[in-house]
């Protein structure tokens, strides 16, 4: 908290100094700079500058010049301190905004390159990576690991092989979520989910059991895929 220390010789100067202090505290100290528009900051700066000019010009005409010069210097010193305070607050806000803009939004999209027969509880490895902001999806394991708390959107599509059965589930950590059962013979199934994740949570697609692991794809067609992205961060 900045303090105003002004040497005054009359009640007039004291009232003017108090007006400067009240204007500053009401509009800056009690309001977050992030919530204050730049127009309001500009208006406050103009008002305080005009008050400071009034103190100097009007005061010199009515009071002892030597004593008033000391008071005027104190007022000007306060205005300089206030300007420094506003600058430092603004600089911190701008730096934080710049850092937020530079953060990559966690997002990934990957497909399977080759058809295969999955084990009874095998995690599907979507090995052809199209997008992987933050590298939070591991194509070698098929697992996405949440880098931050947030609300995420996930989607996956799988195709069954000709004459074979396919059943897969979306999992969050050790919790089985929705299932996709395309049936037999080059049929596709798709699931979409919005999940609340904590940092470190794992999301993946896993086979639903023996005799249900015939997943089809083709290099260049990418029938089976998995994707996800952060909608917004949470505390």
- Answer yes or no: is pLDDT of 11 > 60: no
Q: How confident is the model at residue 104 (pLDDT cuts 50, 70, 90)?
A: confident
Determine whether 90 is exposed, middle or buried from the number of CB atoms within 10 Å of its CB (0-12, 13-18, 19+): middle
pLDDT at 19: 57
- Answer yes or no: is pLDDT of 14 > 90: no
93-102, 109-118, 195-204, 221-230: range with lowest mean pLDDT: 93-102
Q: Which domains does the chain have, with CATH numbers?
A: 11-102 (no CATH), 107-233 (2.60.120.40)
> What is the mean predicted confidence (pLDDT) over 188-215?
94
pLDDT at 4: 40
pLDDT at 8: 44
Q: What is the mean pLDDT of the chain?
A: 78
Q: Tell me the whole-structure pTM to 2 decimals.
A: 0.59
pLDDT at 163: 86
Q: Are strands 202-207 and 168-172 parallel, antiparallel or unpaired?
A: antiparallel
- Answer yes or no: is pLDDT of 130 > 70: yes
pLDDT at 9: 45
> What is the mean predicted confidence (pLDDT) over 183-188?
88
pLDDT at 6: 40
At 131-169, the pLDDT tens digits run 999 999 999 999 999 999 999 999 999 999 988 899 999
H-helix segments, the chain: 11-24, 38-62, 65-102
pLDDT at 227: 98
End-to-end CA gap in the chain = 29
């Amino acid at each position: 908290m900045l303090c105003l220390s002004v040497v005054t010789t009359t009640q007039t100067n004291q009232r003017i100094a108090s007006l400067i202090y009240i204007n500053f505290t009401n509009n800056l100290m009690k309001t977050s700079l992030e919530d204050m528009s730049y127009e309001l900051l500009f208006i406050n700066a103009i008002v305080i500058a005009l008050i400071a000019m009034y103190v100097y010009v009007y005061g010199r005409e009515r009071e002892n010049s030597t004593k008033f010069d000391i008071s005027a210097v104190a007022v000007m010193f306060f205005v300089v301190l206030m300007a420094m305070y506003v600058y430092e607050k603004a600089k911190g806000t701008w730096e934080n905004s710049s850092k937020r803009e530079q953060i990559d939004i966690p997002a990934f999209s990957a497909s399977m390159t080759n058809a295969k027969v999955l084990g009874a509880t095998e995690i599907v490895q979507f090995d052809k990576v199209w997008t992987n902001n933050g590298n939070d999806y591991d194509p070698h394991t098929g697992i996405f690991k949440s880098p931050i708390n947030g609300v995420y959107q996930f989607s996956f599509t799988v195709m069954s092989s000709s004459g074979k059965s396919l059943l897969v589930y979306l999992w969050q950590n050790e919790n089985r979520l929705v299932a996709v059962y395309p049936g037999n013979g080059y049929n596709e199934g798709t699931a979409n989910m919005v999940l609340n994740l904590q940092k470190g949570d794992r999301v993946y697609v896993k086979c639903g059991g023996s005799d249900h692991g015939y997943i089809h794809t083709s290099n260049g067609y990418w029938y089976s895929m998995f994707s996800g992205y952060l909608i917004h961060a949470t505390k």
